[in-house]
Amino acid sequence: MKIIYSPIHKKHSPKWEIINGKNVSYAEVPERIEQIVKELQKNGMSSCIKAPKRFSERYIKSVHNQHYIDYIKKGSQKEAKKKGNDGYFTTFFINDLCAPLTPFTYDAARESVNCSLTGARLLKEEPVIYVLCRPPGHHAEANRMGGYCYFNNAAIAAEYLSQNGKVAILDIDFHHGNGTQQIFYERPDVLYVSLHVDPRVGFPYTAGFANEKGANDGKGFNKNFPLPLGTTEADYEKILTKACNLIEEYKPSSLVVSCGFDTYEKDPIGGFKLSIPFYEKMAKAIKGLDLPTLVVQEGGYNITDLGKIAYSFVKGLN
């Protein structure tokens, strides 16, 4: 297995998000990825870790609108020139107050895409690749940032892979990937399947309902499994099996996993009851699909245990 990692993400480190009009300290911190890398290295995986290659901005444009890309780039540059450059929320191209622009936001988001595309390209040679990227991407729509996400790493990789056949995306982050859903909503050649907290009680609130099934040519190729707060391992496992069956029936050429660890029982912003050993089980179920698989990091915010969760998951993939 190969792991794709770049240290550039560390430069993107916003202080706040705004929830209900109040500043709340930012949960999507550099330590997340650093803890995972440390734990994988500790477990003898250093030789698996590869640096990303650089990809042209036109790959980002395959999913996002050019005005949106320029806005993030120029906004980050503008912020870098300011004195108190703690980041700011833009007025345009935004879904919520959880994705500020800071001096290195564009650079980090761009490198995060480089990581996912490097992984996608390597899938020809390696059956399973784990992309340790941040900022995450699944809330980023074609022209809207939000939920700690700017460029949709998983969607850009899926778009790239779709040139060689149908792609399934399995989103197991605690939150619904509204961005990924929106990007492929009218496409039959990319299946989106997501398990997440019921949007009536959890972020992103406006998408992720069971009746969102795709539109036009894409009708029937979007499947949401909203789950209640407090979902147990037994219940989660049943739904994951259903999700895997759908993917199997679809017969894709490759699989992209939007992999969040905020389903963990002690996640500070999650609300499911999954334990560390359960992640190995989940990964085994995914591995059982026997597809070229690109695992793209999304959320997961328990800094203390993230490394152990990731290592449990990696054991199941191997």
Supply the residues annotated as catalytic.
139
Distance CA 27, CA 15 (A): 9
β-pair type (49-50, 2-4) = parallel
Which does residue 150 touch among ligand OKP, Zn ion, none (CB within 5 to 8 A, set by kind)? Answer: none
Q: In the complex with ligand OKP, which residue's Cβ is closer, 189 or 265?
A: 265
Nearer to ligand OKP, 300 or 307 (CB): 300
Candidate list 119, 218, 299, 316; residue touching Zn ion; CB under 5 A: 299
Cα distance between residue 176 and residue 159, in whole Å: 19
The answer to whether 262 contacts Zn ion (rule: CB under 5 A) is yes
When CB distances are held under 5 to 8 angstroms depending on the partner's kind, the choice from ligand OKP, Zn ion, none that residue 136 binds is ligand OKP
Please check whether residue 243 is in contact with residue 193, taking contact to mean a CB–CB distance below 8 angstroms. yes
Q: Report, in Å, the least distance between residue 50 CB and Zn ion.
A: 25
Reported as type and span, the H/E element at residue 227 is: strand 222-227
Local structure of 219: helix, strand or coil: coil
In whole angstroms, how close is the CB of 173 to ligand OKP at the nearest point? 5
Is the Cβ–Cβ distance between 210 and 199 less than 8 Å?
A: no
Applying CB under 6 A, among 14, 119, 147, 199 the residue interacting with ligand OKP is 147
Residue 17 CB, nearest approach to Zn ion (Å):
13
| Contact flag: residue 148 with ligand OKP (CB under 6 A) | yes
Q: Which two tokens stand for residue 238?
A: 């049943």
Task: Kindly tell me which of 34 and 262 has the beta carbon lying closer to Zn ion.
Answer: 262
Question: Of these partners, ligand OKP, Zn ion, none, which one is at the site of residue 55 (CB under 5 to 8 Å by kind)?
Answer: none
Q: Among ligand OKP, Zn ion, none, what does residue 75 contact (CB within 5–8 Å per kind)?
A: none
Backbone angles phi, psi at 80, to 5 degrees: -65, -30
How many C-beta atoms surround the C-beta of residue 244 within 10 A? 19
Tell the smallest beta-carbon distance from residue 140 to Zn ion (Å).
13
What string of DSSP letters covers 47-105? GGEEPPPP--THHHHTTS-HHHHHHHHHHHHHHHHSSS-S-B--SSSBSSSS--B-TTH
Q: How far is the CB of 180 from ligand OKP (least distance, A)?
A: 11
Rounded CA separation 132/236 (Å) = 24
Regarding 307 and contact with ligand OKP (CB under 6 A), the answer is no
Q: Which residues pair with 213 in a beta bridge?
A: none
Burial readout 127-139 (b: 16 or more C-beta within 10 A, e: otherwise): ebbbbbbbbbbbb
Binding to ligand OKP in span 33-92, by CB under 6 A: none
2 or 266: whose CB is closer to ligand OKP? Answer: 266
For ligand OKP, the binding residue among 7, 15, 18, 19 (CB under 6 A) is 19
| Amino acid at residue number 85 | N
Q: Of residues 152-191, which lie at the interface with Zn ion (CB under 5 A)?
A: 173-175
From the CB of 35, what's the least distance to Zn ion, in Å? 16
Q: Which does 98 bind (CB under 5 to 8 A by kind): Zn ion, ligand OKP, none?
A: ligand OKP
**Binding flag, residue 135, ligand OKP (CB under 6 A):** no
Q: Are strands 190-197 and 16-19 parallel, antiparallel or unpaired?
A: unpaired
Q: Which residues bind Zn ion (CB under 5 A)?
A: 173-175, 260, 262, 299
Q: Which residues bind ligand OKP (CB under 6 A)?
A: 17, 19, 98, 136, 139, 147-148, 173, 175, 203, 260, 262, 269, 298-299
